[in-house]
């Protein structure tokens, strides 16, 4: 499904260069649940964004079904993100002037996806809040809204960057059960986290340190 081959990404800040990813190679199979752990600055988010078509590596390849997503026309890369990738972040990124329902609708591209929203709201205990605005939600409710938005278009791959970082243990468990359910229904998950408890949900675990894979 996904093959990352020898990707390197460097950043320049003034006269200093920082290597976020250093010749990283990795295979992600359909149905994997991979947890990526490591200290801050280890390259976890850069890896996730490279997989998601958001950060072009300086060298190497990111292959989806055998084709390098960065050697296609930009329109094709956009279609890859739209049709195959769901993103979930620590900071939620909900539109403050839209209701829960309308935030989720933004990620729907087909009618059947719109029709499934109420079902997801019920499963995530948000049915009574669909007309509320983000400012009226708890932190856990915001993240569950972001989760629905990420998977409403039934993407093949869910990329989650520190999704429990702002949550208490109870809400973290609620969210991870939802992510686990997505995985059990055939979804592929790549999740970045500092929380070692999150790794227990994964069937694969890798550790990054200074841009290199230490264990997998």
pLDDT tens, per residue, the chain with 216 residues: 899 999 999 998 777 888 999 999 999 999 999 999 988 889 999 999 999 999 999 999 999 999 999 998 888 999 999 899 999 988 889 999 999 999 999 999 888 999 999 999 999 999 999 999 999 999 999 999 999 999 999 999 999 999 998 888 898 899 999 999 999 999 999 999 888 778 889 999 999 999 999 865
| Other C-beta atoms lying within 10 Å of the C-beta of residue 24 | 23
Q: What is the pTM of this model?
A: 0.91
10-17: long-range contacts, CB 8 A cutoff, minimum separation 24: 10/58
| Other C-beta atoms lying within 10 Å of the C-beta of residue 195 | 18
pLDDT at 30: 94
Radius of gyration of the chain (CA): 17
Domains of the chain: 2-215 (3.40.50.300)
Supply 109's token pair.
């591209």
Instruction: Please give the backbone phi and psi of residue 141, each rounded to the nearest 5 degrees, phi first.
Output: -65, -40
Torsion of the alpha carbons at 198, 203, 204 and 207, rounded to the nearest 10: 20
pLDDT at 215: 64
């Amino acid at each position: 499904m996904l093959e990352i081959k020898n990707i390197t990404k460097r950043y320049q800040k003034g006269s200093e260069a920082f290597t976020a990813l250093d010749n990283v190679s990795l295979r992600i199979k359909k149905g994997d649940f991979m947890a990526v752990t490591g200290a801050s600055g280890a390259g976890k988010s850069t890896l996730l964004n490279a997989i998601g078509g958001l950060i072009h590596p300086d060298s190497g390849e990111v292959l989806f079904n055998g084709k390098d997503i960065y050697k296609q026309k930009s329109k094709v890369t956009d279609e890859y993100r739209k049709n195959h990738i769901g993103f979930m972040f620590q900071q939620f990124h909900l539109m403050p002037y839209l209701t829960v329902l309308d935030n989720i609708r933004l990620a729907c591209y087909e009618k059947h996806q719109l029709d499934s929203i109420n079902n997801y709201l019920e499963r995530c205990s948000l049915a009574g809040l669909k007309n509320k605005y983000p400012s009226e939600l708890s932190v856990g409710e915001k993240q569950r809204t972001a989760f629905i938005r990420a998977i409403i278009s039934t993407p093949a791959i869910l990329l989650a960057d520190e999704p429990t970082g702002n949550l208490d243990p109870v809400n973290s468990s609620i969210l991870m059960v939802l992510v686990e359910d997505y995985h059990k229904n055939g979804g592929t998950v790549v999740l970045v986290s500092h929380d070692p408890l999150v790794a227990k949900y994964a069937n694969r675990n890798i550790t990054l340190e200074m841009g290199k894979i230490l264990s997998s």
